[in-house]
Structure 1
Amino acid sequence: MPDSLTREITATSVVVLATTPAATLSCADGTLLDRISDQLVTLPVRDVQVLSSGNGLSSDLRGVAKLARVSTGPVAVLPADLVAHTEALALVLEHPARDSAALISHDPSTAPMRPPVRVEGGKVVAAGSSFHLVPEANATFRGVLQAGEADLGCLAEVAEELAELAETGRLGPVSPVEAIDLLLVGLVRYGVRMRAAAIGPLHSDRVTAQSAADSAIERLSEVDESRVRLNFAVKDDDGFFATHFVSVWSRYLIRPAARLRLTPNAITGISIGLAVLAAVWFSAGTREAQVAGAVLLYLSFVLDCLDGQVARYTRTFSPLGSWVDAMADRLKEYVVYVGLAIGYAAGLPWTGGGPGGIWYLAAAAMILQVVRHTIDFAFGGAVSDAARIGSSFARPARSLLESADGGRYSVPKQGMLGLAQRMERESVLRWMKKIIVLPIGERMALIAVTAAVFNARVTFLSLLVWGGVAALYSLAGRIARSTK
C-alpha cells in the first residue's frame, strides 16, 4: 500500500464543537471558528466536521458518538472557542502514534475552562469537570483530546452514556461548554490509556468573551513556536550524561539534519558506522588508537541521540524506527566489546595485556547486558499487556455518576518503591537514580573513559561491577512495582 494512502487511512478525523456563542467571537482571521479551521488545514487531519446545531449538550455528544462509530482512524474533539498555538494542537493531532491523548498543562491552577486532571507516568489517570472532582490533581486539561482507533468504540459508548445522563439531568447543571471535559472524564474512567501531551510554554486556552479572546491571541505572540518545537525534540527525561554532555550541543544539529533531509534511520546507520570504526581502532591496542576509538564512540552516541531528536522534531518516529534504534544500540555496544578484547589480547606493553581471560570478561559483560535488557523489555511488555487487558476486561468501568471522590486516591508507597518516588521529587537524588541504573549514555562514557585512560580489562570489570549493581536495583524495583 503506498505511504500516502496509508497516511490518509490513519489520519485523524476532527470534530469541532462550535455550539457555544464564543465560537463566533471575532479575531484577525474572522471568527474563532475560522481561526481554528485554518490551523487544522496545516495539520495532517483527514477531515473536519463542525457541530454547530446548538441543540444542547446531549446533541453534541451524540454527534461525537456517531462519528466515532463510523470512523476508520483516530477521532479528535476540540471546541471552537479554543485559542491555541498550532504547535500545541500538533502535540496531539500530529503525533505519529495516532494514539489516545489529551492536551494538558502541568500548571495545576484550575479555572472554569481549565478542569483539573492528575497525570502519572505520562498518562492522564484522573480527570474532572464541574461535576467530577479530582483529588491530588497536578495538571489541567487544555481542551483537545483524541481517541485512537482502538478506543473509538469506547469513545462512542462514553459519549452516548453521557448524553443519556445529561438528558435526564443526572449530571447536574452541566452545559454544552463542558462537553469535551466530560468526554475526557468518561474515557479515563473507562480505562483508556490517555497520553498526557504537555504544552510546556505553549498556550491553549478556552475563552468566553471578546476581551478574553483578544488577550489570549495576544499572548500567543509571546512564544516562539519554532524554538519550542526544537526544545520538545530534546528529551527532558534522558540520562545524566546524555542531558549534560550531548543534548546541550546536539540540539544545534537538528535543524541542519532536517534541512538535509537526513532520516532518523539514516542517522542511525551513520552512528553504527562510527561505532564499527571505534571498534576497529580499539582492536589496534595502542594508546593512540584507544583514544581515537573513545572519541569515535562518543560521536557515535551523539548521533544515537540525534536520530531520536530529529525523529521527534520532524514527527517521523515510528515503532519500527524505535525497534531499529534499540537493536542498533545493542549491535554497536557488542561490536565495541569485541574490538576492545582483540586490542587487549594483542598484549602490547602499555596495556599490560595478553589474552589473560579477557574474552571471558567480555563475554560476561555482554551476557550481563543481555540479562539487563531482558529485565527491562520483559517488564515493559508485561505492563503494556496488563494495561491493555485491564482497559478491556479486568478493570470494570468507573461510574460516571461518582462525583465526590471521582479520582483514584494515591496510596502512599512504602519501601523501595516509596524511596524511588521520593527520589524523583529531589533533583540531585533524581539524577542519582538515573545514573545508578547505568543507561546507555553512562555505559558509553564508562567505556570511552576507561578504554582511553586505562585498558580493556578495567573497562570490562567496571561494566560488570556497575552493571551488576544496576541489575539488582532494577530487578528490585520491578518486583516492588509488580507487587504494589
Structure 2
Amino acid sequence: MTRVVLLGASPGPDTSPTGLRLAALPGNPTVAERLRSQLASLDPRFATIESGDVATALHALADVAESATESLFIIPENSVVHDELIYQITKTKRGALALVAKRPRPEVTEEEQQQEEEEDDTGPDEYVPIDEAEPEIGLERVEGLPLRARIGKSGRVVSVGTAHHAVTRPNAILLGPLHVSARNAPTLAQTCRDLAAMASTFGEDDDLVQLIVFGLVRNGVSVGIRGRRDLFYRRVTTQEEVNEAGAEIIGIDEDRARLNNAVKGADGFFTTFFVSTYSRFIARWAARRGLTPNQVTLISITLGVAAAACFATGDRPWMVLGGVLIYFAFVFDCVDGQVARYARKFGVLGAWLDATFDRFKEYVVFAGLAVGWVVSGNGDDIWILALAAIGLQTTRHLLDFSFGISNRRKPPSPLPTIALDAPDDRELRQKLTRRKVERSQGLRGVLKMWTKAGRFRAVHWARKMIVFPIGERFAAIAITAALFDARITFITLVIWGSVAAAYTLTGRLMRSLV
C-alpha cells in the first residue's frame, strides 16, 4: 500500500488549476479531478495538503510522514501525468525517488563533450572544472521551475539549492512527483519540521517539493532520479498549458510504454536479443485474452516436459524438435513474468511456481538427455555428467539465494550530511569527494573499476553472459542437443557453469569483504 500526499498550490509561482479542463481527454475532466481519480487506486483516502503557507504545509507533511507505515507518494495537484508513470515511480525499490528533467543542453562540439566527460563524472554544463566552480543561486527557469538541483551520473540528486542556499552548477529541476520509502518516512518527518522552523529563509519561488528534497539530501538520504522517458508529466497553471498538455499526452502511446516496461531491463544477452524482441507482444496478446501468469507458466512447463520427452528418444529428428521446444519453453517462461508486469497481476503463488518450475524444467530436460543417450546404446556413464550438471546448478542456486538474503540485511552505506542552514553545498561536495576517494581504494576500487568497465558495450554483454543465466543455459541446451549430442550438452553446461560459479563466487566474496 502507498500513502498518497496531494500538494495544493505550491508556495512558488504555481497555482492549483482545479477548474481548468482537459478538453482533449474523454469526459473533459478538470486537472484535479483526473489526478484524484488516478490516485484513488493507490490510496482511496489520500492526504491533501494546502501549501499556501510553506511552514504550515511542511508541518502537515511531517504529521503525515510521522504516522505513515507505508511508502509515501507526494505529487502536486496541478499535475498532468500518465498512469504508467505513476505506477513506475511508486514501484521503485529506491529509498527515495524524484522525477527530474535535465537542463536543455546547448549544442557542443565533440572536443567540448570530451572535455566535459573528463572533468567530472557528473557531467558539467560549463567547461570550468567543477572543483573551481562557485556555488550559485539558480536563477534560470526550466518549465516554470527554478533550476536549483544538481544530479549526477551516479543516478541520484547530488545537491539542491533554494533562493538563499547556493548549489554548485545546477543542471536539473525537480518536476514534482516524489516517492519516499517507509524506512525514510521518519527522516522525512523530522526534515519537514526542521525546514518549517527556517521557513522565513526561503524565497517566494522556492517550490515545496524542491525544499523537501533539499532537506532530505542534506540529511543524508539518497534520492534517486528518473526522467519521463517515453511517458508524460507536466505541471500546468493556465488553460493554454492545459490544452498543450492534453494534446501531448494523447499523442504518446502509453500502452507501448507499459509493454516495454513489462520487459526486465537487466536480462542477459540471449534473452534481450533473441526473446524479448517479440515475447512482449505475446504477453500483451495473452493478457488481453485473459490468460493469467500462472497459466502461461503451465504452458512453459508443458513445453519443457515435451522437450525432455523428445530428447529421451535419442533420435536426431526428435533431438532437433526438443531443441525447438526447450527454446519456446524459455520464451513462455519470459512471457509469464511479462504478463504479470503488463497486467499487474502479481502473487506469491505465481512467483513460487515460476522459480520452482524453472529448476524442474532444467532437471527434467537433463534426465531426458541422459535417457536418450542410454537408449541410443552409448552407455550409462552419461549419468555422471548429468548429475554433475544438476549438482553444479543446484549449488549455484543455493549460493544465489543465500547471498541475496544476506545482502538484503546489509544496511545501505550512509551518505554525508550538512546543516540545513549552511549557505551553500561546498561542505557537502567536499565530503562526497572524500567518500569517493575512500571508496576507490582496495577491493572497493577494484569493484568500482569493474563496474565502470560495464560502460563499454562489449564488456557489459560479456559480463552478462559469463554468469551463465537461464537464457544462455537454455540456448546452450537447445543448440548443442540439436546439433551434437547429450554428452556435448553436459560438457558445455559443466564447463560454462564452473566458470560462471568461479566468477560469481569471487565477486560476491569481494563484495562481502568491503
Q: Same fold per TM (> 0.5)?
A: yes
Structure 1 residue 302, shift from structure 2 partner: 0.5
Note the alpha carbon deviations across 1:61-104, whole angstroms, 9 max, x for none: 111111223344432211123333232222224x3x79755243
Letter of the 2:404 counterpart = G
Distance 1:347 1:31, change over 3 A: closer
Alpha-carbon separation, structure 2, partners of 1:135 and 1:455: 62
Aligned pairs (5 A) from 1:286-435: 286-317=315-346, 321-348=350-377, 353-356=378-381, 358-387=382-411, 390=412, 395=414, 398-401=417-420, 403-406=425-428, 408-409=432-433, 410-411=436-437, 412=440, 416-435=446-465
**Fraction of identical pairs, as percent:** 36
2:160 matches 1:128: yes
Higher deviation after alignment, 465-474 or 204-213:
204-213
For the structure 1 residues 314 and 368, does the alpha-carbon distance in structure 2 shift closer, same or farther, using more than 3 Å as the test? same
Instruction: Judge conservation of contact 1:23–1:32 (CA < 8 Å) in 2.
Output: no
| 1:23-34 equivalent positions in 2, closer than 5 A | 23-25=15-17, 26-28=20-22, 32-34=31-33
Change (3 A) 1:70 1:79: same
Alignment of 1:15 onto 2:6? yes
Shift of 1:441: 0.3
Instruction: Check conservation: 1:341, 1:456, Cα contact below 8 A.
Output: yes
Choose from 95, 102, 114 the match for 2:97. Answer: 102
1:443 equivalent to 2:473? Answer: yes
Q: For 1:196 and 1:340, how far apart are their aligned partners in 2?
A: 48
What's the CA shift string for 1:204-225, capped at 9, x where partnerless?
2345666655544443233111
Q: Secondary structure at the match of 2:75?
A: strand
Indicate conservation of the 8 Å contact 1:423/1:433, yes or no: no
Matches of 1:140 and 1:336, distance apart in 2: 53
Q: Taking structure 1 as reference, are residues 301 and 151 closer, same or farther at Cα in structure 2, changes over 3 Å only?
A: same
Larger deviation, residues 283-292 vs 45-54: 45-54
CA distance in 2, matches of 1:474, 1:125: 31
> Aligned-pair distance for 1:294?
1.3
Deviation, structure 1 residue 325: 2.2
Q: Which amino acid aligns with 2:334?
A: C
Q: C-alpha distance in 2, partners of 1:108/1:481? A: 36
Please say if 1:91 is aligned against 2:92. no
Q: Which runs of 5+ in 1 are unaligned?
A: 1-9
Question: Cα–Cα, structure 1 residues 127 and 415, in superposed 2: closer, same or farther, change >3 Å?
Answer: closer
Q: C-alpha separation between the residues in 2 aligned to 1:278 and 1:421?
A: 38
- The aligned residue for residue 36 of structure 1 is 35
Distance in 1 (CA, whole Å) between partners of 2:233 and 2:296 is 34
Instruction: Measure how far apart 1:428 and its partner are.
Output: 2.5
Say which SS state the counterpart of residue 333 (structure 1) adopts.
helix
Counterpart amino acid of 1:144?
P
Q: For the residues of structure 2 that align with 1:108 and 1:308, how far apart are their CA atoms? A: 36
For residues 342 and 69 of structure 1, do their structure 2 counterparts lie closer, same or farther at Cα, with a shift above 3 Å needed?
same
Amino acid across the alignment from 1:360: I
Q: Does the 8 A contact of 1:290 with 1:451 survive in 2? A: yes
Q: Which amino acid aligns with 2:160?
A: G
| Counterpart residue identity of residue 67, structure 2 | V
Of the three residues 33, 43, 46, the one matched with 1:45 is: 43
Instruction: Report the equivalent of 1:3.
Output: none
Distance 2:419 2:78 in 1: 25
| Alignment check: 8 A CA contact 2:78 2:235 kept | yes
| Counterpart in the other structure of 2:133 | none
Q: CA deviation at 1:239?
A: 0.9
* Cα separation, 2, equivalents of 1:405 and 1:212: 40
For 1:101 and 1:321, the matched residues in 2 are separated by 28
Residue of structure 1 in register with 2:126 after alignment: none
Q: Deviations over 1:239-276 (max 9, x none)?
A: 11111111111111122211222222222222122212
Q: What is the Cα deviation at residue 105 of structure 1?
A: 5.0
Letter in 1 for 2:457: S
Name the stretch that deviates more: 279-288 or 210-219.
Answer: 210-219
Deviation at 1:306, TM superposition (A): 0.6
Alpha-carbon separation, structure 2, partners of 1:340 and 1:81 = 61
Q: Give the SS at the match of 1:46.
A: coil
RMSD: 3.3
CA distance in 2, matches of 1:189, 1:301: 47
Aligned to 2:258: 229
Match of 2:43, as an amino acid? Answer: V
Write the distance in 2 (CA, Å) between the matches of 1:31 and 1:99. Answer: 32
Amino acid at match of 1:61: L
CA distance in 1 between partners of 2:452 and 2:181 (Å)? 33
Residue 67 in 1 paired to residue 59 in 2?
A: no
Paired residue type of 1:303: F
The one of 435, 460, 474 aligned to 2:490 = 460
Q: Aligned residue for 2:296? A: 267
Residues 422-467 of structure 1: per-residue CA shift (max 9 Å, x gap): 3321223211221121111001000111111111111111111111
Distance in 2 between residues matched to 1:158 and 1:223, nearest whole Å: 37
One-letter code of the match for 2:397? H
1:143-175: CA deviations, max 9, x gaps? Answer: 2122334443333222222222435x3xxx355
SS of match in other structure, 1:76: strand
* Partner deviation per Cα, 1:268-321 (whole Å, 9 max, x = no partner): 222122212222222222212212221111111001111111111122335664
Q: Which residue type is aligned with residue 128 of structure 1? A: V
Find the counterpart in structure 2 of residue 5 from structure 1. Answer: none
Counterpart check, 1:81 vs 2:78: yes
Using a 3 Å threshold, how does the CA distance of structure 1 residues 225 and 336 change in structure 2: closer, same or farther?
same
Give per-residue Cα distances to partners, 1:346-365, cap 9 Å, x unaligned. Answer: 234xxxx2212x11211211
- Counterpart of 1:355 in 2: which secondary structure? coil
Distance 2:198 2:214 in 1: 14
Structure 2 unpaired stretches of 5+:
23-27, 105-140
TM-fit CA distance, 1:366: 1.7
CA distance in 2, matches of 1:53, 1:197: 25
Structure 1 residue 13 displacement after superposition? 2.9
Count of residues paired in the alignment? 454
Please, what TM-score do these two structures have when normalized by structure 2?
A: 0.78
- Is the contact between residue 14 and residue 47 of structure 1 (CA under 8 Å) also seen in structure 2? no
